[in-house]
Structures are given as C-alpha cells and as structure tokens.
Amino acid sequence: MDIEQARKAAEKLRQQIEYHGQKYYVEDNPEISDYDYDMMLRELEGIELAFPELVTPDSPTQHVGGAASSKFEPVTHSVPMESLHDSFSEEEIREFDRKMKAAVGTPAYVVEPKFDGLSVSLEYRNGILIRGSTRGDGVVGEDVTENIRTIRTVPLQLKKSIPFLEVRGEIYMSNENFLKLVEKQELNEERPFKNPRNAAAGSLRQKDSSITAQRNLDIYVFNIQQIEGIELHNHKESLDYLTDLGFRTPPFYHVYENIEDVLSEIRRIGELRGTFSFPLDGAVIKINDFAQRNLIGSTSKFPKWAEAFKYPPEEKETVLLDIQVNVGRTGVLTPTGIFEPVLLAGTTVSRATLHNEDFIKEKDVRIGDTVVLRKAGEIIPEVVAVKRHAPQSKPYEMPVRCPSCGSPVVREEGEAALRCDNTDCPAQLLRHLIHFVSRDAMDIDGMGPALLEQLVQNDLVHSPADLYQLDKERVEQLERMGKKSVENMAAAIEKSKSNELYRLIYALGIRHIGQKAAKLLAKEFPSIDQLLTATAEEMEEIDGFGHIMAQSAACYFALPQTTELIQKLRDAGVQMRDLKVEEKTDHRLEGKTFVLTGTLPHYTRQQASQLIEKLGGKVSSSVSKKTSYVLAGEEAGSKLAKAEKLGIPILSEDEFLNLCGQEEIGE
Ligand code: AMP
Ligand code: ZN
C-alpha cells in the first residue's frame, strides 16, 4: 500500500467508523456487531501505525488512550459548576412552581433524567476538544483531558467549527458495563464498586488513561456554560444545537407549561428508571427560557431556576425460594438468594447476593421466608430484612462440603468467607483459568469462558500450565471450534509467553495480590526465582505493600504446588523475568537513532521502539542524515526510499534483533 492508497483507505474507514459509532453510541441503534466495529477500528489503527503522518487529531483511534497522565492539574472554572437543590416530594415541586410563577408569571419547564455519574466541563476551541475537567468543588476542578479523550461518546471534533464553546455534562458508566465490571472484580476478589457513580468517578480519575479507556464510560451533555459566535434563547434550543454539534444530549427533553405535566413526566421517569441503559437517581426540572433564568438568578451554590427531584429507593416484599452456593476462583463459597420475581425500580429481580455466612446469620434469612428487597440508586438489589419466617422454617446452614467437588470447606479465623481448600476443585480451576487468561493477566485472546469450560470438562486442562501444552487436534474437535479459531488461540498463547513479569504474577491468582500489587512485586523482584525465595519480611518492605499482602504472597511462593506450577510454565517457555528491569544496564544502542517503517514480521512498532529505548537508543519519526539505522518491515514506504538515497543502513527485523542481542525474546 502506498501513502495515497492508505490515505484513501483511512478516510473511508473513518467515515464508516463515524457512522456506526453514531448509530451505536449516540442513537443506541447499532447496525453492525461490536466485533465488526472493533475490527474496522483496528484496521484503521494498522494504517495509522504504518503511516503516522495520516493520523488526524479527530481520528476515532485517538479515542483510545494509552499514555499515563502524570498528575491532575487544577482547573479554575470561569463559569462556576453549580450544584442543584434537591426535592423529595411532589409537594416540594409544586412549591417550586409557585415561586417560579411569582418571579416570572408564566414559566415553562424542561424535565430531564438526573444522570448518576460525575459532572465534567468540556472546552472546545474552533471545534476541537482542548480541555476536559472535573467539577471539583464547583470552582476548581481537575484537568482530566487525557482520560476524557478515551471516552468514545465525547466528540474530539465538533460537526461545526465555532470559535469557543464550554459545555457541561455527566460522565457515567452504563448499568450493563457496571454489572460486568463488578462481576469481574468479584471474580478477582477485588473490592467491587458499590454503584455506577463510584465506578464512573473511580474510572475517570485514573492516573493511567488506558484504564479509563477499558472501562467504557459514556457522557450526556446537558448544558452550555459559555459560547462564542451564536446566540441561543432557551434550554431546548441549546440542547437541539448541542445535538447538531455531535454531542450526546439527554435521550428525552420536552417543554411543559403545566406543573401537573411536569409531575407526570417525573413519575414516568421514576417508573422506568431501572430500564434505562444509564443510571439515574432523579429528574431535573429547569426553566426553559434564558431571560427568565436571569431574572430568577442563583444562590451562591445552586441556580434558583432549577430543581432536582430525587426518587426514594424502592422496596418490595417477596419470597426467598432457595439459596444457591457458588465457588469462586480462590475457593470462596458465595450464597445467592433466589426469589419469587418482583418488579423493582423498573427491572425484574429474582436474585440477590447474600454475601456470606455472617450476613445470613445476622438477618436470620431462611429458605421460604418473606423478605424485603430494596433497590436504590445502587442498581444491585439487596435484602433489607426478613419480614416473617416461613412456618416450620429452620435457620439456614451453609454447606459443609464444596458444592462443586465435595471437599470439606473451612473457615479461616478472622474471615467471613467459607472456602474450598481443594486446589483441584473444578469450579476453582475454571475460575482460575478464566482469571489466568484475562486481559489484565496473561491476556490470551480467543480463550473465552465457554472454551475453558469445555477444556476442563474434557479433561484437557488441569492447571494453567496445561494451556501451553494443548493438543491442537483435540481442541479442534470441540464444539464451535475450527481450524482458524484454534490457530488464533495458539498464536495468542504463544504471544503470552513473552508477557511482562507482573502479568504472570497477577495471573497466578494469589489472594490479596491484585494487578497493582503484582506490579510492585515485579519491580522489586524482577524474576520468579527471586520471588520463590523471598520472605514475607522482604516483601513487606515494598512501599505500598501491607502485612496481609506480604504474608499471602510469601506463603503462596513457598508452597510446593507453586514450585511445581512455575516449573511447568517455565518448561513451556513462559518468560520468568522482567526484561525491562534486568536490561536496564545494557546501553548497547546508546547514541543510535532509529527510524521504523513498514510492518515487522513479529514485533509491533511499539515493542521495537520499547526495545530500542531500553537499550539506550532513540526512535525518530523521520529519516535524516543523523539517522543511524532504518528498521524496515513489509510494505515500507517513502522512508525506506529516503534512507536508500542517503545511504543509511537498512535493517530487517532479524538483523535488528541480532544487533540488540535479543534473539531469545522474539515471539
Ligand atoms: P448533586 O450531585 O446531588 O448536587 O446534584 C447536582 C448534580 O447533578 C450536578 O453536579 C450535575 O452533574 C448532575 N446532573 C445529572 N444530570 C443532570 C441534568 N440533566 N441536568 C443538570 N444536572 C445534572
Ligand atoms: Zn471444591
């Protein structure tokens, strides 16, 4: 592909991605699968990687973050980001209406959902996003531009170029993504986010924007803070205008003149509140007309022309039909209540976690009982209390044997959890494998839970090490597997062998060792061999490491099963040390400048660049007389020609690796 072909292909892809992105993210009406969408995005990334000069600031690829932002800078909001006054009853809303009538005579209102996320300001100059910041205390917030750029529903470039615009919106996590995230956190035995609002705030205020990118946040924009170049007269008009600019505005906003119509809209939203894709904790009523707003004014904290209505948490009675007990990755037994289905805050609820043995004892929950369920802004339903016991009911006893393998369960001192201690427990094995291959761990693409379950059921895998010894022919015979998918799987498995060390440590699924702790361990002990002999005391000295974490990790590495597993993984060719740290002292490329072009057979450009920098070299984007080497892959473009003209040595990937002395880490 030459640059002209690439330019055309990139333009076409951007148009398609834009179109389908609009369908999916803004209109909630996708025409193609997520997978196909991701594939187009990936193709575009490929082109942009090969021809970096074709990257535009508004390219959809620029939505996906990677760089770590250092620290949040303070941002002073030139228009304060005000709060809202809350109402909890219809009477208060009528009272609000009386005040508005007294002030302006004939008010008209717009009613919107009150999105439950965190408030941000977005600033655009000449139609390009220049800054995104949190509300903070309303006057000073934090600069989170890098993180906001990763949110796909935030336009990086507006459809019309206007000199300056500042808007306000709410960043949130959809209910669906929230439930997925919590499930993953529970699987990893991390403390899950309590509600979508916390999840949104926690995900946006990350130092590493690639984490924000993974969390799939969304935005609704509901206000213009400042605008230059156009005059708007009322709220509805401004929302329509924002929609035209490409913003995602509230899914419905209508103008009402009668307060009874406002109240029925509030009731309607309340009844439907659990059925929306976004979390909400109320409705907001705003005066539509801007001249009227000015007349009414603000207090020091909130506008007097708007009012929030907060819905009460909904509670309902139902019958507890059964208690199911599942086994988690580290063997923890978790009881789940199965209920007679009830409609609660807009969704049908038939299950809720009962947490652990203590929770059940404390509330004295028994099978057959009539219980009270509640769902608040929190979208996870919970058991508030037992209303009455079933006749002849008996206190519930947790099983004494693991429901999956039948081994006796134990309860360790000071812990609420019951646990199956059998490391061969199939339920545990499956959870363990799911964790092992997951994106934050070994990141083995194409090994979904369904495939892993089949592998376990068919006795093909008894430990994570077995993933590296799979008999391809047998895997191919499994349901829904074909030659192509097995090839892809094998490639992903192969690739995972050269992962950074922290991934392996995290993948081992050591209790209390999350991804962050794994990174700390890898930094301090840059090889598994060092970890196998490290003591708890040594680990506790790591900054950010607690006593429990150190104890848990040291115990784990001292187990004979661990040594055995590590040996098997090592035999399979899994990387056991951290190259980055170990090679820090190697400066063999010092003073050399490299230019990369084309597609390399094994390395991505990013990997090659990392290697060069690790060895003290520099990477530059254009060829000049100062260039030491050009590393050229397939379909190399104009840079190769230029290098030839200037007589600069051109390296293949193999030659490059020889130069680096890095043959052994080739994939
Ligand atoms: P509170 O957090 O209870 O003080 O409520 C005020 C917050 O509601 C503001 O900071 C906004 O971020 C948020 N909010 C959510 N949806 C809307 C909306 N449609 N209009 C105005 N504010 C909203
Ligand atoms: Zn078991």
**Is the confidence at residue 641, as pLDDT, over 70?**
yes
pLDDT-wise least confident of 251-255, 268-272, 412-416, 654-658 = 412-416
User: Does the pLDDT of residue 241 top 70, yes or no?
Assistant: yes
Binned at pLDDT 50, 70 and 90, residue 24 comes out as: low
Q: Is the pLDDT of residue 620 over 60?
A: yes
Confidence (pLDDT) at 283: 97
Helix (H), strand (E) at residue 433: helix 426-437
> Does ligand 1 have an atom closer than 6 angstroms to the CB of 284?
yes
User: Is the Cβ atom of 221 under 6 angstroms away from ligand 1?
Assistant: no
User: Which residue is closest in CA terms to ligand 1's atom 5?
Assistant: 84
Q: How far apart are CA 520 and CA 544, in angstroms?
A: 8
Confidence band for 171, pLDDT divided at 50, 70 and 90: very high
Task: Give the closest ligand to the alpha carbon of residue 201.
Answer: 1
Question: pLDDT confidence of 68, banded at 50, 70, 90?
Answer: very low
CA dihedral defined by 568, 571, 575, 579, rounded to 10 degrees? 130
Q: Which ligand 1 atom is nearest residue 135's CA?
A: 10
SS3 491: helix
pLDDT, position 72: 85
What's the CA-to-centroid distance between 542 and ligand 1, angstroms?
A: 41
Q: Which of 20, 22, 26, 25 is nearest to 39 (CA)?
A: 20
**Residue 293 CB–ligand 1 contact under 6 Å:** no
Which of 79, 82, 170, 238 best tests ligand 1's pocket when mutated (most atoms within 8 Å of CB)?
170
Percentage of the chain lying above the pLDDT 70 cut: 93
119 lines ligand 1 (CB under 6 A): yes
Query: Where does the pLDDT of residue 70 fall: very low under 50, low under 70, confident under 90, or very high at 90 and above?
Result: very low
H or E element, residue 130: strand 128-134
pLDDT of residue 665: 43
> Which residue's CA lies nearest to atom 12 of ligand 1?
119
> Residue 115 CA: which ligand is closest?
1
Check 114, 375, 614, 639 and give the catalytic one: 114
Q: Which atom of ligand 1 is nearest to the CA of 82?
A: 10
Q: Which residue has the higher pLDDT, 311 or 90?
A: 90
Residue 478 banded pLDDT, cuts 50, 70, 90: confident
- Mean pLDDT throughout 63-69? 38
> CB of 640 closer than 6 A to ligand 1?
no
The best mutation among 81, 87, 119 to test binding of ligand 1, ranked by most ligand atoms within 8 Å of the C-beta, falls on 119
Most trustworthy range by pLDDT among 89-103, 428-442, 548-562 = 89-103
Ligand 1 atom nearest residue 116's Cα: 15
**Residue 235: what pLDDT?**
98
**Highest mean pLDDT of the ranges 358-362, 513-517, 577-581:** 358-362
610 CB-near residues (< 8 Å, 6+ apart): none
Rounded CA-CA distance 502/440 in Å is: 10
**Distance (Å) from CA 426 to ligand 2 centroid:** 7
116 in contact with ligand 1, CB cutoff 6 A: no
- Give residue 535's identity as a one-letter amino acid code: T
Ligand nearest to the CA of 168: 1
User: What pLDDT digit, counting tens, does each position of 547-575 carry?
Assistant: 889 999 999 999 888 999 999 999 999 99
> Which of 15-19, 155-159, 231-235 bottoms out in mean pLDDT, i.e. has the lowest?
15-19
Contact 305, 292 (CB under 8 A): yes
CA nearest ligand 1 atom 3, residue: 84
Which residues pair with residue 315 across a beta bridge? 374
Which of ligand 1's atoms lies nearest the C-alpha of 84?
A: 6
Query: Where do the DSSP E strands lie in 345-496?
Result: 347-353, 370-375, 382-388, 409-411, 418-420
Q: For ligand 1, is residue 112 a contact (CB within 6 Å)?
A: yes
Average pLDDT over all residues of the chain: 88
Catalytic site residue 114? yes
Ligand 1 within 6 A of CB of 114: yes
User: How close is the Cα of 114 to the center of ligand 1, in Å?
Assistant: 6
CA 207 to CA 67: how far, in whole Å? 9
d(CA 187, CA 176): 17
Is ligand 1 within 6 A of the CB of residue 115?
yes
- pLDDT above 90: percentage of residues in the chain: 51
Q: Could you tell me the pLDDT band of residue 266, with boundaries at 50, 70 and 90?
A: very high
Using most ligand atoms within 8 A of CB, pick from 79, 85, 114 the residue to mutate for ligand 1: 114
Task: Average the pLDDT over 290-306 and give the result.
Answer: 94
The closest alpha carbon to 496, from 441, 434, 577, belongs to 441
Amino acid at 90: E
Residue 664 has pLDDT above 60, yes or no: no
pLDDT tens per residue, range 211-229 = 899 999 999 999 999 999 8
Among protein residues, the one whose CA lies closest to atom 17 of ligand 1: 114
Kindly report the length of the chain: 667
Helix (H) or strand (E) holding 172: strand 164-173
pLDDT on residue 5 = 92
Contact 493, 468 (CB under 8 A): yes
pLDDT of residue 666: 38
Distance 281 CA to ligand 1 centre (A): 9
Q: Which residues are CB-neighbours of 227 under 8 A, at least 6 positions away?
A: 162, 164, 165, 166
Note the pLDDT tens digit of each residue in 569-607: 999 999 998 765 544 467 788 889 999 988 888 888 878
Instruction: Identify the nearest ligand to the CA of 432 by its number.
Output: 2
Q: Is the pTM of this model over 0.75?
A: no
Place of tokens 């019309």: 160
The answer to whether 379 and 195 are in contact (CB under 8 A) is yes
Ligand 2 centre to CA of 407 (Å) is 6
Residue 17: is its pLDDT beyond 50? yes
